A and B are shown apart, each in its own frame.
Chain A
Amino acid sequence: MHNKLSKSHITAYICIAFGAVIMLAPFYFMFVYATHDNSSILSVPPPMFFGDALAENFAILIERLPYFWHNLGLSFFVAIAVTIANLLLCSMAGYAFAIFEFRFKEVLFAMVMATLMLPPFLGMIPTTMIMSAIGWMNDPKALIIPAACGAMGIFLMRQYISSAIPRELVEAARMDGCSEFGIYWRVIVPLITPAVGTLGLITFIGSWNNFMQPLVVMNDMKMFTIPLALRALQGTGQVPWGAISAGAAIAVLPLLILFIITSRQLIAGLTAGAVKG
């Protein structure tokens, strides 16, 4: 009986290790290929360990995508701007929904949650038209402003504030003569740093990986974000696999670093959003 149990345990461990290899292998090969030139990647068998062609691959990358560093900077700029905007606006709205009593509160909150059900592709075409009508094509504003206050962020903030901040605290601040914005800024904001961290991570990652919105509003190569720039490598002629892998590694690396540092908080935040939402 006991022996049998441990045997099935060993099988399970082997399965899990096998699965883990499958999960990590693409990342491993991405980094390995980033250090090999095309002829070595295209040989049989393909390289399994790191090579020395990283600089060469970056040279090809810059040759094919002259604005690559600009694209990278733009991706960072957009993701950081979206994150700051969401932290500010979502925490305000979440605070209002968590602490205040006001008319139509339930209906308005239900509306916020209902927008989560709307699939993004539904707005793809008309958003493009609006952006071109107001002259925001190829403008980072088109990626930042519409994404500045997400419903998921409001929900997460409301959850956190209503569980972590007692109403009496707000009442007391109000009695001391603090203005309404002052209460939010000086009392609420310092107390919600854990939720700010989680929401900031989720928002940054979402914006960094966003592909659909930039795909339809950015058509000038200089204004591509990183996913678009990578996609542009695919097209014509011989595919520069080494350069693509180097580019992909650059696109994934910031997220991997963030994830390694914060995985527990990040996973908890993401699941809380999905489970309770």
Chain B
Amino acid sequence: MPSVVANQPKPLEMKYRQGLLRKLFGAKAYKAAPYMFISPFFILFFIFGLFPMLFSIYLSFHAWDPVDGLGAMEWIGWENYTFALTDEWFHTSIYNTFWIAFASGIPQHVLAIPLAYFIHSSLTKMRNSVVGVYFVPYITSSVAIALVFTSLFSRDFGVINLVLTSIGNFSIGEFQPLAWLFPTENVDWQRPEYTKPMISFVVFWRYVGWNTVLYLAAMQTIPKDLYEAATIDGARRLQQFWYITLPMLKPMMFLAVTLTIIGNLQLFEEPFIITGGTGGLEQAGKTAAMHMYITAFTESDFGTASAISWILFMVIAGLTWINTKLLGSKD
């Protein structure tokens, strides 16, 4: 073989020999190689991804308690689905999920876009540190962070209450100018009406930097001459933001909002830790994914839990589809 290379054949000859060589020595290796290289993914996916999912569809049409062994499965048709859909706790969990999804999701985007714009247009030296500071919550363990927040939110010794009440009690003489907006006494965050806001805040805190980075990446692709032309035409910065940046960001908004929807509807870890795995008082912090987990692993009802997981999947798929229709179609 080395002699073939050493002979330095002319292009046409080389093409011929190359083909010949492949047929003689490497034909099968060349053809089989890509399949070999991608096979680990597909083998793992079939065993630990696809098969479990198909099994979960099968399971969702059966009544089954894992304690009784696999033989005890009983076909019950759509009963798990109708049960899940009429279950009051499921309704509560869906309501909670959407509540938290909006309360944490909307502020993320409303703040991330101006923040990204300011970082993009005004920061140079500080830029990486600022981005890093806002991004760091995203990479840290949500369990560890949720635990830390649980202590920060505690009623009598929590730092959050300390800050809020000291603003609320701020006074000029007898007059307390901020008392209408901020609490003057410690808030009991354990009460059910505060559970969802608390979870939403933690989720917001964790993902606002992630969205900022996404928008920042999109702003870097906006051509500079658009801004230059606008400056020549006398457009001020706010106008430039409104008429250039925002419209150009539309594809990224679509992507980022889709990611937020998908992520927020499967919210599990933050509410799980903050409510101690129970869903909180009056189930106020129980999300749909948590409801599924509790149905399966606390109540040992694997059939209903599988049905819940598929209903939730359909909800997410449906919303993603609507989002694509609403925001994505015009591009």
Name the distance in Å between A233's Cβ and chain B's nearest Cβ.
Answer: 8
Which one of B24-32, B177-185, B223-231 is at the interface? B24-32
Q: Which residues on A sit within 8 Å (CB–CB) of B128?
A: 263-264
Q: Check A174 for interface membership: any CB of B closer than 8 A.
A: yes
Assess whether A271 is in contact with B213, with CB atoms less than 8 Å apart: yes
Checking A9, A97, A129 against B38 with a beta-carbon cut-off of 8 angstroms, the contacting residue is A97
Assess whether A146 is in contact with B44, with CB atoms less than 8 Å apart: yes
Checking B40, B162, B252, B259 against A46 with a beta-carbon cut-off of 8 angstroms, the contacting residue is B162
Checking B2, B52, B115, B255 against A127 with a beta-carbon cut-off of 8 angstroms, the contacting residue is B52
Q: Which residue of B lies closest to A101 (CB)?
A: B34
Q: Which residues on A sit within 8 Å (CB–CB) of B31?
A: 102
Q: Which residues on A sit within 8 Å (CB–CB) of B302?
A: 125, 129
Which one of B79-87, B88-96, B192-200, B305-313 is at the interface? B305-313
Q: Check B110 for interface membership: any CB of A closer than 8 A.
A: no
Q: Check B106 for interface membership: any CB of A closer than 8 A.
A: no
A181 to B26, CA, bound (A): 12
Which one of B148-156, B168-176, B242-250, B322-330 is at the interface? B148-156
Assess whether A230 is in contact with B143, with CB atoms less than 8 Å apart: yes
Q: Which residue of B lies closest to A266 (CB)?
A: B139
Q: Check A169 for interface membership: any CB of B closer than 8 A.
A: no
Checking A20, A29, A120, A233 against B266 with a beta-carbon cut-off of 8 angstroms, the contacting residue is A120
Name the distance in Å between A104's Cβ and chain B's nearest Cβ.
Answer: 9
A216 to B209, CA, bound (A): 30
Secondary structure call for the B interface: helix
Q: Which residues on B sit within 8 Å (CB–CB) of A92?
A: 37-38, 40
9 contacts between A and B (CB under 8 A): A16-B119, A23-B134, A26-B205, A89-B41, A122-B53, A125-B305, A184-B37, A211-B268, A249-B144
Known contacts A244-B147, A274-B259; 7 additional CB pairs below 8 A are A30-B144, A90-B41, A121-B266, A122-B56, A251-B144, A270-B210, A271-B214
For the complex of A and B, the 8 pairs showing the least CB-CB separation, nearest first, are: A126-B52, A146-B48, A96-B37, A248-B144, A180-B33, A100-B34, A96-B34, A227-B143
B contact residues vs A (CB 8 Å cutoff) = 1-2, 4-5, 18, 21, 25-26, 29-31, 33-38, 40-42, 44-45, 47-49, 51-53, 55-56, 59, 66, 111, 115, 118-119, 122, 128, 130-137, 139-145, 147-152, 156-159, 162, 205, 209-210, 213-214, 217-218, 237, 252, 255, 259, 262, 266, 268-269, 272-273, 276-277, 289, 292-293, 296-297, 302, 305-306, 309-310, 312-313, 316
A contact residues vs B (CB 8 Å cutoff) = 5, 9, 12, 16, 19-20, 22-27, 29-30, 33, 41-46, 89-90, 92-93, 95-97, 100, 102, 105, 108, 111-112, 115, 118-127, 129-130, 145-146, 148-149, 151, 154, 174-177, 179-181, 184, 205, 208-209, 211-212, 216, 226-227, 230-231, 233-235, 241, 244-245, 247-249, 251-252, 255-256, 259-260, 263-264, 266-267, 270-271, 274-275
